[in-house]
């Protein structure tokens, strides 16, 4: 069945990750996504390797895993935006598209006559989504922005990692470019909202999405802690600022995550773990008590968890209805029976490899399923198909 956005055409002028992630979401939802790339080199992320996808003979291709991660289902055309003929091609494409996604620096596309104010004149219904480091306003709007630097600037790295003074202590970035990915997600939501607005009014609009704004929004609970108290939250590693125990514990052979989100779960845990004396102790009876006395409780729980292996604890806690989980490596995560049952890995057609793996979208629909049509395209793979339909001015 057709996806929920199968009636939508998207022109994706973005590169690397945040913008392309939004474009990939549009493709997953059924939209036709035309990716405009530089001739010869294409999207910068095509060169972000190794690793590269292997061909049918097991030899590395030129297709980087990074590029495959954010561009499935798109059609690639090569256009030189510095050439007036290339600019005319983009205008012609934009005239027939519903959405345009770009992540050029502030003002760059306007220099080529491809800014929002330029394109809305030929397509008043166009939804033009600009993804930048710092947005379209403010003193930093012309600065380039990257995920890593914004994780640091936003305060998120100061909240992530072990406390200073502990072994391995210090600020830590997230293990994947979370700000790029979440900016792409916010852009996707904004585009869908603008499409809903256009369906009622017939009018398009300019969407301004920035990495820094996304990172600040992701401060969420910790950000509100500061705003409501004036106190800067400390870095606390794998513990939770307001719930105890909600953290990692070492077992006899590894680690396990225990999540006692309320006092009832705490009682269930103590009963299952054979440590009811902790539950009866007034220092640990309520969550607020446990938060205040976490330094006393944690060594006691470490001793409890050292009695069994991770798998043994998982069985005990699962039977008691206490939330828990192991710390998997990536290969273990993909092999998990629940991930397998959910179809987390998809195999998509690819012209060089035959098929290429893809990580499934987390969006699941009962009536309009996600469209897994093809892997990421080769550079310029769809030039003939797309450009043959246009008649750019000489």
Supply φ then ψ for residue 304, to 5 degrees: -65, -50
Cβ(267)–Cβ(316) under 8 Å?
Answer: no
| 3-class DSSP state of 313 | helix
Cα 116 from Cα 129, distance rounded (Å): 9
DSSP H/E element including 320: helix 310-320
Residue 290: closest CA among 243, 222, 248, 323:
243
Cβ burial 324-338 (10 Å sphere, 16+ → b, else e): bebeeeeeeeeeeee
Specify whether the CB–CB gap between 297 and 288 falls below 8 A.
no
- Provide, for the chain, the percentages of residues in helix, strand and coil under a 3-state DSSP scheme, each rounded to the nearest 5: 40, 15, 45
Instruction: Determine the Cα–Cα distance for residues 111 and 92; give it in Å rounded to an integer.
Output: 17
Residue 162 is given by DSSP the state B
Three-class secondary structure of residue 99 per DSSP: strand
Q: Residue 227 is inside which H or E element, if any?
A: helix 220-229
**Which token pair is 44?**
């910068």
Report the alpha-carbon distance of residue 130 to residue 73 in Å, rounded.
21
| Residues whose CB is less than 8 angstroms from the CB of residue 191 and which lie 6 or more positions away in sequence, other chains included | 22, 26, 99, 101, 127, 129, 207
| Sequence-ordered strand ranges (E) for 89-138 | 99-102, 127-132
Is 180 annotated in the active site?
Answer: yes
Given 12, 147, 180, 213, the catalytic residue: 180
| Cis peptide leading into residue 339 (ω within 30°) | no
How many Cβ atoms sit within 10 Å of the Cβ of residue 212?
21
Burial of 180: CB neighbours in 10 Å, binned 0-12, 13-18, 19+? buried
Asked if 183 contacts 131 with a C-beta cutoff of 8 angstroms, the reply is: yes
Residue with tokens 């006393």: 296
The token duo for 180 is: 């790029």
Residues annotated as catalytic are: 180
């Amino acid at each position: 069945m057709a996806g929920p956005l199968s009636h939508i055409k998207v022109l994706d002028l973005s590169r690397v990750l945040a913008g392309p992630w939004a474009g990939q979401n549009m493709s997953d939802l059924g939209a036709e996504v035309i990716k405009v790339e530089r001739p010869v080199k294409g999207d910068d992320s095509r060169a972000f390797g190794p690793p590269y996808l292997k061909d049918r003979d097991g030899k590395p291709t030129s297709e980087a895993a990074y590029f495959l991660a954010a561009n499935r289902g798109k059609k690639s055309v090569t256009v030189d935006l510095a050439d007036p003929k290339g600019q005319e091609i983009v205008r012609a494409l934009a005239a027939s598209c519903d959405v345009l996604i770009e992540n050029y620096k502030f003002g760059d596309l306007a220099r080529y006559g491809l800014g929002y104010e330029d394109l809305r004149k030929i397509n008043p219904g166009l939804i033009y989504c600009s993804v930048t480091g710092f947005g379209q306003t403010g003193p930093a709007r012309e600065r380039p922005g990257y995920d890593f630097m914004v994780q640091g600037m936003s305060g998120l790295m100061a909240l992530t990692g072990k406390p200073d003074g502990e072994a391995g202590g210090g600020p830590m970035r997230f293990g994947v470019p979370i700000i790029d990915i979440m900016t792409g997600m916010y852009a996707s939501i904004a585009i869908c909202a603008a499409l809903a607005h256009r369906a009622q009014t017939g009018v398009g609009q300019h969407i301004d999405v920035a990495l820094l704004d996304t990172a600040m929004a992701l401060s969420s609970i910790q950000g509100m802690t500061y705003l409501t108290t004036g106190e800067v939250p400390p870095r606390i590693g794998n513990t939770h600022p307001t719930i105890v125990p909600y953290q990692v514990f070492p077992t006899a052979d590894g680690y396990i995550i225990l999540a006692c989100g309320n006092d009832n779960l705490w009682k269930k845990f103590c009963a299952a773990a054979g440590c009811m004396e902790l539950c009866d102790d007034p220092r640990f009876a309520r969550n607020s008590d446990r938060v205040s006395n976490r330094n006393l409780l944690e060594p006691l729980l470490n001793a409890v968890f050292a009695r069994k292996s991770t798998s043994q604890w998982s069985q005990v806690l699962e039977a008691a209805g206490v939330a828990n989980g192991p710390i998997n490596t990536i290969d273990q995560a993909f092999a998990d029976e629940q991930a397998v049952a959910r179809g987390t890995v998809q195999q998509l057609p690819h012209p060089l490899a035959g098929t290429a793996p893809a990580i499934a979208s987390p969006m699941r629909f009962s009536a309009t399923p996600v469209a897994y049509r093809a892997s990421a395209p080769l550079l310029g793979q769809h030039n003939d198909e797309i450009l043959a339909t246009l008649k750019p001015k000489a």
